[in-house]
Amino acid sequence: MSAEAKRFGDAILREEQALEAAFRQGAITEPDLQRRVAQIGQFQAELRLAHLRTHLETKTLLADHQLQRYNQLRGYSSGAGSQGHHTDTEAQRLR
């Protein structure tokens, strides 16, 4: 995940900086704003997908006792409340 995530993370930062610069310069139009925000949203979606895909791949690499510990560390174990980084539905998929 790291190379893919880094690529999307870098792209998000680059696009956010360009958006901010365009606002500072007063050079942004409505169509430009829509295009830039849509592009940032696409990069954010790709980053999230890479992140969650890694969780799914992790499940196939770990033994049961390792997966149990992984889920516990991620905050997915029972009694942990909602301390994990993902929704309950996402956590259930990893169990």
pLDDT tens, position by position, 56-80: 998 899 999 998 998 899 888 765 4
Residue 42, token pair as written in the block: 């696409």
- The domain tally of the chain equals 1
**pLDDT the model gives residue 82:** 47
Instruction: Determine the structural domain holding residue 8 and report its residue range.
Output: 2-94
**pLDDT the model gives residue 81:** 47
Nearest to 22 by CA among 11, 31, 33: 33
How many C-beta neighbours within 10 Å does residue 76 have? 23
What is the pTM for the complete model shown?
Answer: 0.69
Low-confidence ranges of the chain (pLDDT < 50): 80-82, 91, 94-95
Q: Which helix (H) or strand (E) holds 51?
A: helix 30-61
